[in-house]
Amino acid sequence: MACTIVLRHADREDITSREQAPFAKLTLKGRLKAIQHGLWLGINFGLPKEVYSSKTIRCIETAKIITLPFVFKTRVKMKIDDDYYGFFSTGYIKDGKFDAWMEDILARAHKKERYAEMFARWSEKGLIKCTLHEYGRNFLSSYLTPHNLIAITHDSVIGPLMEALAHEFGFRMRDYMLWPNPLAGFCIEHENQRIYTIKWLEFGGKPQVLL
């Protein structure tokens, strides 16, 4: 059985502008937590063969640090999105629409909306290239590999994936899964494209079985 784990990056610097967003780095606290979390993941879920990362600096740093405990035990292949429209960066946004999407996010940051509502609005504005359901299906068809995989990404990726998975498999999803903490995310245990369990992971916490 293999595990596909998708996590938000570790604690980062404060972001004060849209232009700064891709370049924010991890704090010292974030770096230390990433090493600790990497050890915990290896013990509890086994060693990964691939680690995917968003194009942003904070995700790349997290991906590199989280794999440090594995470097003497296995050969880990790192795959970083080619640009900011890659799957684990902003995989549902149309090319050239990132700035408009970010403006919408920032303008409504105070509102806790479900992603179904946001996807409907973004679709009307012509900002996205797939529905929420299609986004979840694209993930399942592409990243349930025969070997262990870790992906480091953003809350804006984990949130819609969790909402799509909850709708697909009928488990109860809580609000904190839409806006995850640093190093929080989910794990899918699977074999031959058959899903056995879905668990929610929090840094320092016990895995929560959802399915």
Note the pLDDT tens digit of each residue in 193-211: 899 999 999 999 999 999 9
Q: Alpha carbon of 146 to those of 4, 14, 20, 156: distances in Å?
A: 9, 37, 37, 26
Cβ-in-10-Å burial (0-12, 13-18, 19+) of 86 comes to middle
Mean pLDDT value of segment 87-110: 87
Residue appearing with tokens 């996010």: 105
Question: CATH number of the domain at 2-209, out of 3.40.50.720, 3.40.50.1240, 1.10.10.10, 3.30.559.10?
Answer: 3.40.50.1240
Average pLDDT of span 121-134: 96
E strands in the chain: 2-8, 50-53, 77-80, 149-153, 185-191, 194-201, 208-209
pLDDT at 110 over 70: no
Looking at every residue in the chain, the average pLDDT score rounds to 91
- Please state, in angstroms and as integers, the Cα–Cα distance from residue 54 to each residue in 9, 20, 24, following that order: 9, 15, 13
The residues, ordered by sequence, that sit 6+ positions from 5 with a Cβ below 8 Å of its Cβ are 41, 45, 48, 148, 149, 150, 151, 185, 186, 187, 188, 201
- 2-6, 14-18, 113-117, 175-179: range with highest mean pLDDT: 2-6
Whole-number pLDDT of residue 81:
92
pLDDT for 53 beyond 80:
yes
Could you give the CA distance from residue 56 to residue 156 in angstroms, rounded to a whole number? Answer: 13
Q: Does position 8 have pLDDT exceeding 70, yes or no?
A: yes
The answer to whether 92 touches 160, Cβ cutoff 8 Å, is yes
Residue 17 pLDDT greater than 80, yes or no: no
List pLDDT tens digits, range 156-181. 999 999 999 999 999 999 999 999 99
Separation between Cα atoms, residue 60 and residue 53, nearest integer Å: 6
- pTM, rounded to two decimals: 0.94
Give residue 71's pLDDT. Answer: 65
Query: What is the structure's pLDDT at 116?
Result: 94
The mean pLDDT of 61-77, rounded to a whole number, is: 83
- pLDDT level of residue 122 (50, 70, 90 thresholds): very high
